[in-house]
Structure 1
């Protein structure tokens, strides 16, 4: 059986002064690679800005942008590149026009942050880069803000952006191209794996032991090795030959939280991975992550991710940007 040819799609890429070089080049390079793999120019793009002409990025990137014409020349997809010095007014107007047409809008990192901060999110989940998410949670209650790579709600895709931008684009193209070509795009981009949109952002400090003092690094290793049968903080402190009070100070200096709170968050993160990547019953996942019962897991999971494990599993099945099981 032959696969139907993908329908041509045009992408509109909105930039402003000091845009993120990495995100713009990731978008364009991924689209170029997709056209090369498919051996046809199915995916087109143009760069637009509220200040047309040459626009300087946050590094060495310089791009020539076309002007934004209100309610005209609308593309199939609008992508707003992150910019710390951006004025959201122009792209917010473009966003509303796209939504009226029922066309998707992708907001990367700073753009997603600006949207979340300026919009009352009443339905659906949203996300942004984890560093901005932490600030948003400090300034106001954000029950719909998650730690995933991207979220699709009400026609808007909010995303972490940065180095995950290429995978986000691949997720979109997965709806248009056969599995074999999606895999080939990933190979050309030298991606070791293609993460789904619901993958957790890789900001967990335990992945970077070498950046912390030896005592903290040793504690993180002990915690990781004892997720299913958690140890008391006093016992962990004894194993690394320090006092519980000293360990508390070291953890707060490194992570801004207590060892106990961090341990629970680490176990909730492991539960998140198991819910996302397996079909294990929630009670078994609770046992595997040291929570003892599904209700205790649900409490910790909601505190960390803003939803219950059951809600997350149900939502994961319907994720718009998740790849097919074959990818």
Structure 2
């Protein structure tokens, strides 16, 4: 096992024209998320030609802190209500105490500074907080568990959401795009594009982009009947088949297919099929300029009214409202960060 140690960060330039990030980590933090944050900031400084962005790593267990893998970082102690940065990014542990970083969030919000909670931190925040305005999100796998135990109408499947100055995010491999979105306030479009090119990103997804739903993306690893049924659904989004027809094509009964579907996805095949169609509509609304009637036809809803009802149930907005609010910004929240 190799050891990686993060020591000194860029020094703040004399003119003070810098944006400071505080990265809060806990033992067993996600290595990928920390590496994504730091490497994106390093790349931004390289593209910009000066240390425009600086960071420090802090922890409730200062000293050497090890992540879930081989990454080890040197973290400074957290001093309550002192040394607050422009941005606080929390990369928490699934099991460690939350009190220190929750107190840090309150300090940041009193100043009006932005807070970003990645994956595990977002999950623990959502589970402990009554969300009354805006929306929240986390990694889709944690969202499944949260929905089983709590009524969370404001929980979405977007890559990130903003509520009361706090960004909750899916994290993991989408972390770099989120950081790029934060930097977009301070850098020209040409530099943002160049950062994406250096990171070899085929595109920079917006915050409202739907998370790639792993069960759909990796269905080849599941029960063959379920895998085959998913492939049929994905091939027939514009002209949906009945569940009976799909069951016949995978050589099983409708009742058996429903039972096997619930064992994998904890939902019915009919509900999952509609979810696939709404997701496809979401992609077309966000990434194309197709008329809504054409999108409704392409996703098997037949009319804009039927599409609007289904879309609003999943995303809380009608397709026309969604398209109006989400323009060409990486972080396309309705409010400013």
Aligned to 1:3: none
Check conservation: 2:237, 2:300, Cα contact below 8 A: yes
Any conservation in 1 of the 2:184–2:192 contact (CA below 8 Å)? yes
Q: Distance in 2 between matches of 1:236 and 1:150?
A: 34
| Match in the other structure for 1:313 | 323
1:229 aligns with 2:250: no
Q: Which residue of 1 aligns with 2:148?
A: 138
Structure 1 residue ranges (4+ consecutive) displaced by more than 6 angstroms after TM superposition: none
**In structure 2, C-alpha distance between the alignment counterparts of 1:317 and 1:195, rounded to whole Å:** 12
Deviation at 1:50, TM superposition (A): 1.8
Contact 2:136 2:160 in 1 (8 A): yes
Give, in whole Å, the separation in 2 of the partners of 1:114 and 1:241.
Answer: 42
Is residue 216 of structure 1 aligned with residue 226 of structure 2? yes
The structure 2 residue matched to 1:123, chosen from 124, 133, 138, is: 133
* 2:92 corresponds to 1:60: no
- The Cα shift of 1:303 comes to 3.4
Which position in structure 2 is the counterpart of 1:197?
207
1:314–1:136 CA distance, 2 compared to 1 (3 A): farther
C-alpha RMSD of matched pairs (Å): 2.2
Q: Indicate the SS of the match to 2:207.
A: coil
Q: Residue 124 of structure 1 contacts residue 153 of structure 1 at CA under 8 Å; is this kept in 2?
A: yes
Scaled by the length of structure 1, the TM-score of the pair is 0.90
TM superposition score normalised by structure 2: 0.88
Deviations 1:163-222 (A, max 9, x none): 111111111112222222222222222222211111101124222232124433332222
Q: Is residue 2:182 matched to residue 1:172?
A: yes
Q: CA deviation at 1:294?
A: 3.1
Compare 220-229 and 143-152 and name the one that shifted more: 220-229
Match of 1:250 in 2: 260
Compute the displacement of 1:54 (Å).
1.4
Aligned to 1:32: 42
5+ long unaligned stretches in structure 1: 1-5
Give the number of aligned pairs: 319
Q: In the alignment, what sits opposite 1:90? A: 100
1:238 to 245, 248, 255: 248
Residue 270 of structure 1 deviates from its aligned partner by 0.9
**Aligned counterpart, 1:113:** 123
User: What CA distance in whole angstroms lies between the structure 2 residues aligned with 1:50 and 1:239?
Assistant: 55
Q: 1:282 aligns with which of 282, 292, 297?
A: 292
- Tell me if the contact between 1:17 and 1:85 (Cα under 8 Å) persists in the aligned partners: no
